[in-house]
Structure 1
Amino acid sequence: MFTYFGFEKEGHAHLDFGKSLNADSRVNWLIVCDQASYHLEILNATHYTTDIDIKEDSTYFFLVANCGLLPFNYHISGRFQNRGGEHLSTQYVPLPTFYSSISPVWFLIVLAFTFNWLQHRKQSVALHKLMWSLPLAKGLFCVYNAYYWRVFSRYGRLETWQTITYHVSYVIVQLLMYSVLFLVSKGWGVTRSNLSTSEKKSLVVCVTALSAASTLYQINGGYFLFALVIMYVIAMKYVFSGLEHNLRSLSRQRQFLVQRQHARSHTHN
């Protein structure tokens, strides 16, 4: 399969195809199909161009078939467009609006964190500062995503630096999110001030592996989903076991403070 694209009615596809000279033209086919119909063309030249008008809303699959015995090399490029000059596949059309809408929510959370910090600025807790940076990073990432998908929607292509920036920012957000999650599970900055050397190593390995699995799935999809699921299972076991331990510790500390408060009240009476 070459690719697939979600079209609306009156959309348009332009394909440019080239193949090696040793290919048997009688057994090379270009197949364009959706769930109900298909369009079949014989690729009988070394260079082939075709335009296809879309008749109804559907996801169309573009395939190149070789039914002969001889292998051949080919290159293919396409330009897909929906009504109104929309270059996004139908499943991605809502993304620019979605990210534009969700960005202010993250910045409101940042303001709430900032207001809380100003109220309790005398209590310097490192975990709070790290948690404050997470919604900020998420908000900036959503702003860039809104820009990223709007450019893609308008022009149908992206510059190399735009794609690299997207993936780098995605990795940074993932690293930060998983770091906060693991540190919270360990009670860092709440029930304890430091982590042991082994815990630090485990944290780095887990966060790096989980971020790598998320990034590879984001870029390539496919079988990387299995790696991501496995990493999630391992990570969640690690996180929830740590949370359970810290909740018990907090419960004991709370009971101690309550008993101490009762003892003081009885003494004053």
Structure 2
Amino acid sequence: MLSDQELLRYSRQILLQQVDIDGQLKLKNSRVLIVGVGGLGSPVALYLAAAGVGELHLADFDRVDLTNLQRQVIHDTASVGESKVDSALRRLNAINPEIKLVAHRTALDADSLADAVAAVDLVLDCCDNFSTREAVNAACVAARKPLVSGAAIRLEGQLSVFDSRQTASPCYHCLYGHGSEEELTCSEAGVIGPLVGLVGSLQALEALKVLAGFGEPLVGRLLLIDALSTRFRELRVKRDPACSVCGHA
């Protein structure tokens, strides 16, 4: 059930026929893991908390640096030097004290990652390195949990949803294989702040669609964003039957 306070808090969302009371209850009863509370994870966490997702699990072993503040909008100047998870917890509690927050302040190894994924209904990949993305994808495939994956660097972004519960859905490895030999991070290549905000906001939207069961999530589709020209392009992505991660799942 939704309390009177919750009905008021989420009223503008509940007014949407695609969400309604039933959708809001689904969000309230959902558990989500956000891997990385940086540029992408900031808008993801803020919007999912505000939308009333009942339980948010935040995973990040890093601390807030002054260079983060140009784009990681969940943190502020007073947070510099603090654990990113603790900084995010304080902000999210201020936004919505109705939800439950679970902290993962250390790096997730294979076992702890598997446990963290198994404990939730959906995972959002908001990290900034390929090896973690591969590990998160493998854990999601093994646990049959939907994964919303976003990335942004320089002036380019991309977004997709991988849902191993659907037989035709590819996984992250189907699309990217073993990655490129040259893997750059934002600290090396740079990134414009509003771009990660855009990609993260779209990740949050895709998560709400999957959790509440409305719309058409980006399963089997890759959205490419060119921030320099403000153009969006979509590619169809098929499952690879020979994929070493999901080929026999």
| Range class of TM-score, shorter chain | under 0.3
Structure with max Cα Rg: 1
**Structure with the larger helix share:** 1
Q: TM-score, normalised by structure 1?
A: 0.21
